[in-house]
């Protein structure tokens, strides 16, 4: 029986998903090598640490793929509560960096609980939708429970403060809850509430420096020496890359250290200057394929939980990619959102590869596993 299951797993292995993720991760490491080449010291070897994170993330991703996701549905709420406890622990045990509390350090290992909430929240929302699969259109009162699930981690993440992660968590949650069929009147009220809530959050919740970041992308020239400096340098790098780029490790903006955070927030600016428009198109096509393939998996999932989970993972990759590209091009404010598998970062890499593992899990079981 065990051999039969293993054989079926091999037959149902999702090679397109595996190949596109492997390509993105490989290109990301190569680009990171170039991005850190001008840094020297510890930063000059970040690409080695990134390979280690990818290896660890792959192992965790395999585990996420092998354990049947129906068991994750059974324990989804408990996993979600555990991630909330970790968010609270950040304020008690976390390491403070420049006035923010986002990381917990255990020995030499440092992780960011808010990254993993992106996965656990999708699990919890997926279980809610799976267990409450009513056919009729819902009213707003039917969304009180999932709204509470979303509000708790959002408030904790905003208190750290971490605007970028809060935005991604909120957008991923909205993407999953879009599967809910609402009455027209309730939908209008929901949109009105979200718009009003965004204004209140901007006025009374965001810190001054966060408001400046949001303002600076509207008039970057006015803030070119402070809050808009990063975006302007990134746009210069993109423009100077032209069609075919300046060549590997030849990007002047990076080699002269004009691009801030070329290995976390702005690795795509390094890639754009070195590989040009054609290189950017190639990477964007990979991300587009990844998102569309995830939606294809969602459409053929064997149950509502698997479908919601795949939609959540598609949304995770989509919103991360959109926001990072928007930051790099100067059309969205700089809010510290990473580019999946391209940006350096342990917690980010682990989260993305867990997401890939869950997609593989759903894909392998959508036809032949009961």
Question: Torsion angle of alpha carbons 190, 191, 196, 198, nearest 10°?
Answer: 110
Q: Which residues neighbour 34 within 8 Å (Cβ) at sequence distance 6 or greater?
A: 248, 249, 251, 254, 270, 274
Residue 2, domain member (yes or no): no
Residue 370, domain member (yes or no): no
Q: Per the structure block, which two tokens stand in for 191?
A: 């949109």
Question: SS3 string of 82-94?
Answer: HHHHHHHHHHHHC
Whether residue 242 contacts residue 304, with contact meaning beta carbons closer than 8 Å, is answered with no
Calpha distance 324→355 (Å, rounded): 18
Burial 340-360 (b: 16+ CB within 10 A, else e): bbbbbbbbbbbbbbbbbbbbb
Number of domains in the chain: 1
- Whole-number Cα distances in Å, 292 to 220, 288, 340: 33, 6, 15
CB pairs under 8 A, 24+ apart, for 328-332? 328/231, 328/234, 328/238, 328/266, 328/268, 328/269, 328/272, 329/234, 329/235, 329/238, 330/217, 330/220, 330/228, 330/231, 330/232, 330/234, 330/235, 331/217, 332/217
Residue 202, domain member (yes or no): yes
pLDDT by residue for the chain (370 residues), tens only, comes to 455 556 666 677 899 999 999 999 999 999 999 988 876 655 668 889 999 999 999 999 999 999 989 899 999 999 999 999 999 988 887 666 666 677 787 766 778 889 999 999 999 999 998 887 665 566 667 778 888 999 999 999 988 888 889 999 999 999 998 887 766 665 666 677 667 766 666 666 666 656 565 655 555 555 454 556 777 888 888 888 889 889 888 888 888 888 878 888 899 999 999 999 999 999 999 999 999 999 999 999 988 999 999 999 999 999 999 999 998 888 888 888 999 999 998 899 999 999 999 999 999 887 654 4
Residue 76, domain member (yes or no): yes
Nearest to 365 by CA among 294, 311, 313, 303: 303
Residue 5, domain member (yes or no): no
Angle made by CA atoms 22, 25, 27, in degrees to the nearest 5: 105
Phi, psi of 343, deg, nearest 5: -80, 150
Residue owning tokens 């939609």 = 311
Calpha distance 173→121 (Å, rounded): 7
Residue 1, domain member (yes or no): no
Residue 4, domain member (yes or no): no
Q: Per the structure block, which two tokens stand in for 184?
A: 């027209």
Q: Which residues neighbour 90 within 8 Å (Cβ) at sequence distance 6 or greater?
A: 101, 102, 103, 104, 113, 114, 156, 160
Residue 117, domain member (yes or no): yes
Q: Which domain holds residue 155?
A: 11-365
């Amino acid at each position: 029986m065990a051999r039969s299951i293993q054989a079926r797993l091999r037959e149902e292995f999702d090679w397109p998903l595996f190949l596109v993720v492997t390509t993105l991760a490989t290109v990301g490491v190569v680009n990171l090598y170039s991005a850190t080449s001008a840094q020297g010291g510890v930063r000059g070897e970040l690409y080695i640490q990134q390979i280690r994170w990818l290896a660890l993330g792959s192992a965790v991703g395999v585990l996420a793929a092998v354990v049947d996701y129906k068991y994750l549905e059974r324990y989804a709420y408990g996993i979600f509560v555990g991630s909330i406890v970790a968010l609270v622990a950040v304020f008690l045990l976390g390491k403070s960096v420049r006035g923010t509390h986002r990381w917990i350090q255990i020995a030499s290992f440092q992780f960011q609980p808010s990254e993993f909430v992106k996965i656990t929240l999708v699990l919890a929302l997926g279980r809610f939708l799976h267990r409450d699969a009513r056919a009729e259109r819902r009213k707003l009162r039917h969304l009180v429970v999932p709204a509470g699930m979303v509000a708790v981690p959002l408030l904790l993440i905003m208190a750290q403060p971490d605007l970028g992660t809060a935005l991604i968590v909120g957008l991923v949650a909205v993407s999953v809850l879009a599967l809910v069929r609402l009455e027209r009147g309730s939908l209008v009220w929901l949109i009105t509430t979200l718009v009003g809530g965004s204004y209140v959050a901007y006025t009374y919740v965001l810190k001054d420096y966060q408001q400046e970041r949001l303002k600076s992308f509207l008039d970057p020239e006015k803030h070119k020496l402070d809050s808009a400096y990063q975006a302007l340098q990134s746009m210069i790098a993109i423009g100077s890359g032209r069609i075919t780029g300046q060549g590997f490790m030849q990007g002047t903006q990076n080699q002269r250290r004009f691009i801030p955070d070329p290995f976390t927030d702005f690795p795509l600016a390094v890639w754009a200057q070195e590989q040009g428009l054609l290189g950017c198109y190639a990477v964007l096509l990979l991300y587009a394929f990844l998102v569309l393939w995830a939606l294809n998996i969602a459409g053929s999932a064997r149950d509502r939980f698997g479908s919601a989970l795949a939609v959540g993972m598609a949304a995770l990759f989509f919103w991360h990619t959109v926001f990072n590209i928007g930051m790099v091009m100067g059309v969205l404010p700089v809010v510290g959102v990473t580019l999946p598998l391209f940006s350096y970062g342990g917690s980010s890499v682990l989260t993305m590869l867990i997401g890939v593992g869950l997609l593989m899990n759903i894909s392998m079981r959508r036809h032949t596993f009961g």
